[in-house]
């Protein structure tokens, strides 16, 4: 038996998307054997940047336990095996107002449980939106935690802010780490770093040359921005630099939006600019759109570029993104787990695993 004798963890990244979790885990020294996702638009991005990992393009509902074992070579009850689950979160997120579109994502954790039950890996990580924990009506998470208890896993879980794990954005997430091979396990300790600001990651001083809206960067740097309508150009020009909001033009009869007339206290961040010396807002799948949040550049008259969004997600500037269009790439970036957060989780798991080997 070759199980339980390796010096480092190996992992399967379920719902891997564009590879943020895989990349970060690899940076921590974990060998990510494969990423699984049913989105073909993620295939090239994942494979180009994570060449030591297999991309399995398959819906988890159609993937059998034996097929996964045959493709990756993993075995049951391997103490050094880590399963990662970052399932699509449309059903659980408060951003999506149409739950019907996200119904299929509701029970993906249950499908993941099927593989945990079969393989019983030494370690488990789950990353998702806070709604997975906070939703009191649904019992999907409660059922999964009860399942972990029945299989003698111990775990730590809570809502964390990625900003306390090296990520320059206010990004709250549900995080769970679990193990059946250690006597204790904890989510990595949070660290506050005042240097995690927009200014310290983007801007001309960080290699992001000044551009206008609609600029198309044909290189792999992809400093590409969406075009603004004439009215939105006027709006962003009139929006105060460094953190300004739509309040800058609320009394302009031409620019004010009908839905917001007399409603200055709702959706305050839409059509807003980021602050240079604060953390960025959560990078969503529409971060390259001026009208979808506080995604305006702090001083240039445009929304964030694709590369700026990826950088604020802590992807290295050398990370190559592929997709059929800008919307696809923005969605890949916004849906990704920030690699820096992933790396810190991985470091903590590696330390835990090494401690179990020493004690044994």
336 closest CA partner among 1, 39, 108, 73: 39
Closest CA to 283 of 244, 219, 339, 344: 339
Contact of 243 with 268, CB cutoff 8 Å: no
Q: Give the active site residue among 42, 86, 89, 98.
A: 89
Which tokens go with 141?
Answer: 């998470």
Would residue 89 show up in a list of annotated catalytic residues for this protein? yes
C-beta of residue 350 within 8 angstroms of C-beta of residue 325: no
Measured distance CA(180)–CA(153) in Å, rounded: 4
The interaxial angle of helices 108-119 and 65-72, nearest 10 deg, is 60
CA distances to 45, 311, 334, 340 from 41, in Å: 8, 20, 14, 23
Q: Please give the torsion angle defined by the CA atoms of residues 20, 21, 23 and 29, in that order, rounded to the nearest 10 degrees.
A: 160
Contact 134, 140 (CB under 8 A): no
Catalytic residues: 89
């Amino acid at each position: 038996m070759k199980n339980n004798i390796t010096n480092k963890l190996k992992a399967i990244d379920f719902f891997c998307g564009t590879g943020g979790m895989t990349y970060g885990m690899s940076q921590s020294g974990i060998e990510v054997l494969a990423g699984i996702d049913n989105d073909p638009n993620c295939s090239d991005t994942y494979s180009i940047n994570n060449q030591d990992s297999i991309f399995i393009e398959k819906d988890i509902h159609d993937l059998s336990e034996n097929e996964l074992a045959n493709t990756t070579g993993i075995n049951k009850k391997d103490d050094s095996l880590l399963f990662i689950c970052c399932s699509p979160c449309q059903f659980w997120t408060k951003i999506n107002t149409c739950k019907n579109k996200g119904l299929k994502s509701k029970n993906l954790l249950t499908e993941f449980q099927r593989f945990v039950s079969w393989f019983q890996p030494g370690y488990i990580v789950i990353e998702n939106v806070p709604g997975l924990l906070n939703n009191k009506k649904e019992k999907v998470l409660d059922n999964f935690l009860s399942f972990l208890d029945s299989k003698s896993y111990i775990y730590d879980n809570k809502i964390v802010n990625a900003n306390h794990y090296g990520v320059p954005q206010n990004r709250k997430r549900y995080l769970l780490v679990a193990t059946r091979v250690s006597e204790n396990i904890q989510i990595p300790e949070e660290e506050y770093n005042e240097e995690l600001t927009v200014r310290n990651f983007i801007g001309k001083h960080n290699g992001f040359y000044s551009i206008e809206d609609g600029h198309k960067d044909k290189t792999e740097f992809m400093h590409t921005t969406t075009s603004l309508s004439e009215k939105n150009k006027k709006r962003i020009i009139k929006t105060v630099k460094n953190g300004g909001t739509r309040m800058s033009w609320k009394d302009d009869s031409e620019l004010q939006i009908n839905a917001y007339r007399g409603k200055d206290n709702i959706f305050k961040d839409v059509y807003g600019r980021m602050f240079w010396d604060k953390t960025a807002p959560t990078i969503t799948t529409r971060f390259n759109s001026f009208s979808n949040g506080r995604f305006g550049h702090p001083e240039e008259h445009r929304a964030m570029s694709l590369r700026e969004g990826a950088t604020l997600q802590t992807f290295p500037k050398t990370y190559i993104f592929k997709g059929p269009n800008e919307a696809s790439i923005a969605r890949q970036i916004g849906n990704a787990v920030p690699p820096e957060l992933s790396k810190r989780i991985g470091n903590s798991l590696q330390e835990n695993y090494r401690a179990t080997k020493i004690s044994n």
